[in-house]
Structure 1
Amino acid sequence: MSATATRVLVLNSGSSSVKYQLLDMGAEPDSGSAAGTRLAVGLVERIGEESSRLVHTPLAAGGEKRETEGAIADHDAALKAVAAELAADGLGLDSPELAAIGHRVVHGGLKFTAPTVIDDAVLAEIERLVPVAPLHNPANITGIRTARALRPDLPQVAVFDTAFHTTMPEHAARYAIDVATADAHRIRRYGFHGTSHAYVSRKTAELLGKDPAEVNVIVLHLGNGASASAVAGGRCVDTSMGLTPLEGLVMGTRSGDIDPAVTFHLKRVAGMSTDEIDALLNKKSGLVGLCGDNDMREIRRRIDEGDERARLAFDIYIHRLKKYIGAYSAVLGKVDAVAFTAGVGENAAPVREAAVAGLEEMGLAVDATLNAVRSGEPRLISPDYARVAVAVVPTDEELEIAQQTYALVNA
């Protein structure tokens, strides 16, 4: 790799969208954060529709956001459009300063425990994992293929959502079902949001002024998708999502933990098909199933107006959060911090307050004044006397992917 090649393009390819960021890993850190200065960010959405939209913001020279609308047929056309936008800012994909492209890949199974340079064999293994990640891996694969075609000479690196959780011990990762059946069909708990949990647990240790190896953290990644993790000395020992992202916390549209027999009951009594049950639990459950809204701001507004359905949905959401805080406190034995992150975790002060309320005997408390502060910086919201720190740590999955990608190709 050229000594001047310090840029990493991060791609997050969804079924009908591509999110991207271009970062310079050799530049001065922005806002005092970890190494990596953003040069451009953007999003292509509604790929395959007539109303496709590309939003591109160049940041290197304080450029203004640009939006274009019109049909973008497929991911190949989307990435070519992204390349054109970057080239217009002097940041084209043909630049000798581009060191690598880092791809978010949701499921890496047990084989991929670290960022991996993509070759044909790696791509084939990611394809082999499609049955356990049918909603995510196919889109990730499409993005990888397109990027490889555009820059076949450039290192392409897969950074897996599941990798951080591969340190879970077998007693946490195994389901209590027949071992032969589980092994034959790769049924076990894999966990997701791993790049976020890795980043936030490390930043929490920094916030406390300690080495990550000395700190036990419960990370609560609360967005439309939500997950919790127990991180002991920088290593994940348990996490709430399992074989798929459906297990665990109550989410925007996902049920989280549920009696498996509910699926049998719906099939036998309601006559629902497997696909219908899948859609119910993944897309029509969680907060939206309970009250019709999956936006926490709207739910809080409805609660303030006396809406009982919204109140019940919020209470169920918080009850599940408390259960996981308690469970992971038991798993870790000693907890140094609880860290809230992602859209809801970073912005919804009432969620943080409610999740910790009543847990004073466990050493947890929130200072109302500190909790009300809005900031994009990592911060403590617990009073000085609290035995366990409560933190708000904005996640940065793109930076984490860029750091892992750059470290691998620069090794």
Structure 2
Amino acid sequence: MKKYAYIGCLGFIAVITTEFGVIGILPQIAEHYQIGVDKAGWLLSAFALIIALTGPFITLLMSGFDRRKVMLTAISIFLFTALVSSLSPPFWLLMLVRVLPAFLQPVYIATALSVAVSGADEKQANKLMGIVFIGVALAMVITVPFATWLASVWIWESSFIIQSAVSMIALAVIYFLLPPMPVKEKKSYKSQLKILTQPTFLISTAMNFFMITAWFSTYSYFADYLNKAKGMDGPMISYMLFLFGIIGVFSNWIAGKMLSWNVSKTTALFLSGTVIMPFLLYFSGDSLPANVISIAIWGFLYSPSFQNASTYMISSVPGSLEFANSLATSFGNLGVTLGTTLGGWMIVTKGAAYNPWIGFVFGMLAFLMIILRNILEKRSQKQKIVISCH
């Protein structure tokens, strides 16, 4: 049902605003707490690491609970976290409350997607999942850049105030518009864990990990990169985030349509950005028009990455949507952690200008996984043809 997909999308905006809302204010947080920007980057990478380590297990444990209650609980914790963070607590407490919602983030995403596609056929399901994932782009175009802009003209805590407001709206919409949704038939843990023995699924998981690592080695430090490598100030960076997001909304919509046509080719097309962007960003130099064009292309190719990764993984095990998606979220966030860590290390040792080249290396690894899966699938099809002929 489209209504449920749009409700899931709104919650996704709250989830993504909380996770990535710190990207534009990392330099200000580092200055406030008198720490390096690489240490401030742990506010993002620790969040992602918790998701990566706990996501699939908590999703499995909560797979039998009423889906409405699961979504309400998750968004409530996101709201609590944002409220505490807006009070500028000591850094250790800020770090602690930052990781709390991370435990339920993959559960929310998997549940929202499951609610959105319930009763839909495979072709329709990809479009409905696309609607939910548009929440990522909307967060990038509206809440994240607005929070960054507000923080640049007022105080950095205002970013967390925006996060609180978005979570509160999402909570109210889920409470009033989503009916109780008890799980009628709970799948056994064994049947869900079986997907971990399938080579194509494991290769798809590796592709997801490499692709997200590639993108986040630079995107995690978007504000720092544009400031140090391109000489942009706070307001200009918020405008670039806004442009990035505007393009991203359109890009997610296009990707949703394309995924219904061909999952592998769509994923490969958008993944090409990890290889193209280092060259575009390098040759754009200090030219503002060239940088604006480069950032627009970056936003277009980057924005559907989570949607592509989830759909690519689920396409290898179509009968295990929730668990496969929680693994997609977990390994994607493991990629966020590694990308953020490597990006922070590069800024400290060599300089922000070199960050996109980390993305080039991991992007090539991701392409290798797509080729490997295609080879395995073709071999499997040939074996089936041989068996059917006999």
Name the TM-score class by shorter chain. under 0.3
Structure richer in helix, relative to its length: 2
Answer 1 or 2: higher relative contact order, Cα 8 Å, separation at least 6: 2
Structure of greater Rg:
1
Q: State the TM-score, normalized to the length of structure 2.
A: 0.24
Q: Normalized per residue, which structure has more strand?
A: 1
